[in-house]
Structure 1
Amino acid sequence: MGHREDLLEGARRCLLEKGFARTTARDIVRESGTNLASIGYHYGSKDALLTRAYVSLLEGVGEGFGPEVGKEAAHTPGSLEHFQEMWATILRTVPESRAIWLLSFELMFQDERVAEVRKLLGEAQEEGREGLVALFSGLPEAEVDRETADSEGRLYQTLLNGLMVQWLFDPASATTPEQLTEGLRRVVERAARH
């Protein structure tokens, strides 16, 4: 690996250990075995490097429940059984991705101090909506249109963020895939009656 990759890997480790606000440039240099000048040369700033490291961590989480996982599912995409199966798949990733989710929530509450990160987080949310639609619908991500991503994708993303808050706060009382699916079934049945 070169300095650029070493810095990125060191920054990822620092983020997972210390979070965004407490990680210093010196921490990254110590963790990566590089030098301070390398950060500016390769990434422009410590925040830019940490942002890139954070995005790469998020991408790793997404790969754990990406569209290829949905294609291997036992149930037909779009069915309630598939819905439940996909939430179970997503929630299985929580133990190994807990630190990344905690980091995500830290960044959400940093107001404008990390504007660059918030901008990238917003862009990542857009991409994430398309990925979630692909996961639950069985469509290739490239075929998910803007309207579907802005409706179904936002619904899945809202459910995902809410579930992550519950699972990080208290896994024992968090909503299960079965409970979420039963709630959806009841809402759909009630809507169909009216």
Structure 2
Amino acid sequence: MGHREDLLEGAKRCLLEKGFARTTARDIVRESGTNLASIGYHYGSKDALLVQAYVALVEEWGDRFHPGADGPSMTPARSLDRFREVWTSVTDSLPESRAVWLLSFEIVLLGDRMPEVRRLLAEAQEASRSGLIPLFTDVPEPDLDKAVVDTEGRFYLTLLQGLMLQWIFDPGTATDAAQLTDGLRRVLEGARGTEAGAREAE
């Protein structure tokens, strides 16, 4: 690996061990075996490097849930069964991914004090939204329409962030995949009933 890759791997290890606010440029240099000048040359700033490292950690976690990661899913895309399957995989991963999600919430809380970090992460959220959709639909990410990313992608990302907050706060009372799926089913049935009633009234 070159210095760029070494820095990224070192920054990832620092984030998991010390978090965002407590990681210094010297920590990264020591962990990566590089030098301070390399951070500015390859990433522009320590914070920009840490944001890239954080995004890489989230992507590595998310890659495990893409259809085909452990063999193709036999559950139909866009079905409630697929919806439950994906969220079950997400919650089952929490013991080993807890550090990544704690890091996520630390960064959110730092947003007001670190506007540059907030800007960089806001740009990364577009990729997060589009990356979630194939889990549920089997539509490859490059084929997604922007309107789908701005609606379905936002829906899935909002569910993910809310679910993670619950599981980090108290796993014993957090919503599980079956409850989330049943909630969606009830919402869909209610919406269909309301629409059918409106058509009959016409």
Aligned equivalents of 1:70, 1:111: Cα separation in 2:
36
Aligned equivalents of 1:58, 1:158: Cα separation in 2:
15
In 1, are the aligned partners of 2:12 and 2:57 still within 8 Å (CA)? yes
In 2, are the aligned partners of 1:7 and 1:29 still within 8 Å (CA)? yes
The SS at the match of 1:172 is coil
Structure 2 residue identity aligned to 1:117: V
| Equivalence for 2:25 | 25
| Equivalence for 1:187 | 187
CA root-mean-square deviation: 1.8
Post-superposition offset of 1:117: 2.5
Post-superposition offset of 1:18: 0.9
Post-superposition offset of 1:123: 2.2
Distance 1:70 1:132, change over 3 A: farther
The answer to whether residue 76 in structure 2 is matched with residue 76 in structure 1 is yes
Distance 1:52 1:58, change over 3 A: same
The SS at the match of 1:152 is helix
The answer to whether residue 163 in structure 2 is matched with residue 163 in structure 1 is yes
Runs of 4+ in 1 over 4 A off after TM superposition: none
TM-score (norm 2): 0.88
Structure 2 residue identity aligned to 1:18: K
The SS at the match of 1:29 is helix
| Equivalence for 2:198 | none
Alpha-carbon displacement from aligned partner over 1:81-101 (angstroms, at most 9, x marks no partner): 111111112222222221111
Alpha-carbon displacement from aligned partner over 1:17-74 (angstroms, at most 9, x marks no partner): 1111111111112212222222223222211221221121122112122243498223
Aligned equivalents of 1:162, 1:67: Cα separation in 2:
23
Aligned equivalents of 2:116, 2:174: Cα separation in 1:
32
In 2, are the aligned partners of 1:71 and 1:138 still within 8 Å (CA)? no
Post-superposition offset of 1:178: 0.5
For 1:1-194, what aligned pairs fall within 5 Å after superposition? 1-69=1-69, 72-194=72-194
Give % identity: 61
The SS at the match of 1:109 is helix
Structure 2 residue identity aligned to 1:114: M
